[in-house]
C-alpha cells in the first residue's frame, strides 16, 4: 500500500486543461512559454500533449529556441554550425521548444544563437521583430500585444521577458559573434539569468499546481516594467555573483558607465499570421 501511495500522479490532458483555465487562458492570449516536462512527474503524452493543450488555449504560442552551438568566440572564428530554421534547439532550453520547431506551421526568427519560435495568430509578427542589436525584441512585440509569460515548472531564471526589461533599463550588453550567411557578425548578448528571482516583489502572478509542477502566469508588460523598476532602484539587482559568470564583465561595464536607458520600439502588428 505504501508503495502505491508513493507512485507519482500522472498528469492527463484534462488536468492540464483545467489548470490552464484557472490561469485565465481561454484561446485569446499571445503567450511565451518556458517549461520543464520533468517537473510534472509523469505527463501523459509528454511534450506532444503539452504542446497540443497550449495551442488549444492560446492565440499565439512562442518560446525561446536558442542554439548556443552557433556562438563564436571572435570575428575570425571558423564556422562549424550554420543556422537554419529547423536547427535543433539547445538541449538545456527544453523539449517543448523543439516540438514547436518541428511543428509544420511554426515561424522561427533569424538569429543564429538566440532565435524564437512561434505558432499561431501573431507568430510572424513576434518572430520578425528581432534584430542583432536587440535579440529580445520578440518580447517587445509581446509587450505590445499585452502578452502572457507562462512558467510551467520553472522559475524566473528561465524567464526571458526579464531580459527585455534589462535592455530598456539600459543594462550594458556584451558582444558575441555568430555566423550569418557567409559572414561572421557581432550580436548583442545579455548577462545570465541566475538571479532573476529578485524580480518577484515587483510582479504579480497567477499560480496553480498540477501533478508535481507549479504553473505560473505573468503579464509580459508587468515583467518588463518591473525589471526596469528594480534596476532603477538597484542597477546590479539582477546580476549573479558566480565567480566565472559573464555577469562579472557586465558588472564592470555597469560600474564604469552606469545605466543608459533605451526606448521601447513601438510595433505595428498585423491581425493575422
- Residue 49, C-alpha cell as written in the block: 500533449
Closest by Cα among 3, 71, 63 to 30: 63
pLDDT digits (tens, 9 = 90+) for 146-183: 999 999 999 999 999 999 999 999 999 999 999 998 89
Distances (CA, A) of 170 to 17, 100, 163, 242, 262: 39, 32, 11, 22, 6
Count of residues in the chain: 273
240, 242, 92, 66: which is closest to 166 by C-alpha? 240
3-state helix, strand, coil split of the chain in percent (to 5) is 35, 20, 45
Q: State pLDDT tens for residues 123-132.
A: 999 999 999 9
Q: What are φ and ψ of residue 148, in 5° steps?
A: -120, 135
User: With 70 as the cut, is the pLDDT of residue 6 above it?
Assistant: no
Distance CA 235, CA 98 (A): 34
**The pLDDT of residue 4:** 45
Confidence at residue 265, expressed as pLDDT on a 0 to 100 scale: 83
- pLDDT value at 109 more than 80: yes
What are the residues whose beta carbons fall under 8 Å from the beta carbon of 266, sequence distance 6 or more? 144
Instruction: Please choose, from the candidates 165, 108, 157, the residue with its C-alpha nearest in 3D space to the C-alpha of residue 134.
Output: 165
Taking 80 as the threshold, does the pLDDT of residue 269 lie above it?
Answer: no
Joined together, the cell numbers standing for residue 200 give 518577484
pLDDT digits (tens, 9 = 90+) for 197-254: 999 999 999 999 999 999 999 999 999 999 999 999 999 999 999 999 999 999 999 9
* Residue of 64, 63, 19 lying closest to 39 (CA atoms): 19
Amino acid at each position: 500500500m505504501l508503495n502505491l501511495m508513493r507512485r507519482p500522479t500522472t498528469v492527463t490532458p484534462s488536468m492540464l486543461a483545467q489548470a490552464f483555465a484557472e490561469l485565465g487562458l481561454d484561446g485569446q492570449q499571445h503567450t511565451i512559454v518556458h517549461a520543464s516536462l520533468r517537473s510534472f512527474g509523469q505527463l501523459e503524452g509528454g511534450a506532444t500533449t503539452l504542446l497540443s493543450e497550449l495551442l488549444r488555449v492560446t492565440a499565439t504560442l512562442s518560446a525561446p529556441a536558442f542554439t548556443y552551438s552557433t556562438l563564436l568566440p571572435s570575428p575570425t572564428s571558423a564556422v562549424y554550425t550554420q543556422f537554419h530554421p529547423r536547427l535543433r534547439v539547445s538541449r538545456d532550453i527544453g523539449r517543448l521548444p523543439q516540438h514547436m520547431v518541428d511543428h509544420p506551421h511554426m515561424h522561427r526568427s533569424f538569429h543564429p544563437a538566440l532565435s524564437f519560435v512561434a505558432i499561431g495568430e501573431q507568430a510572424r509578427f513576434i518572430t520578425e521583430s528581432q534584430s542583432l542589436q536587440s535579440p529580445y525584441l520578440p518580447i517587445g512585440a509581446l509587450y505590445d500585444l499585452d502578452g502572457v509569460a507562462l512558467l510551467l515548472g520553472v522559475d524566473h531564471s528561465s524567464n526571458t521577458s526579464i531580459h527585455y526589461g534589462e535592455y530598456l533599463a539600459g543594462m550594458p550588453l556584451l558582444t558575441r559573434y555568430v555566423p550569418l550567411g557567409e559572414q561572421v557578425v557581432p550580436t548583442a548578448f545579455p548577462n545570465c539569468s541566475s538571479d532573476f528571482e529578485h524580480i518577484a516583489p515587483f510582479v504579480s502572478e497567477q499560480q496553480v499546481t498540477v501533478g508535481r509542477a507549479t504553473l505560473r502566469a505573468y503579464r509580459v508588460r508587468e515583467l518588463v516594467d518591473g525589471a526596469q523598476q528594480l534596476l532603477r532602484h538597484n542597477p546590479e539587482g539582477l546580476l549573479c555573483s558566480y565567480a566565472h559568470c559573464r555577469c562579472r564583465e557586465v558588472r564592470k561595464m555597469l560600474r564604469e558607465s552606469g545605466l543608459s536607458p533605451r526606448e521601447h520600439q513601438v510595433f505595428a502588428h498585423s491581425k493575422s499570421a
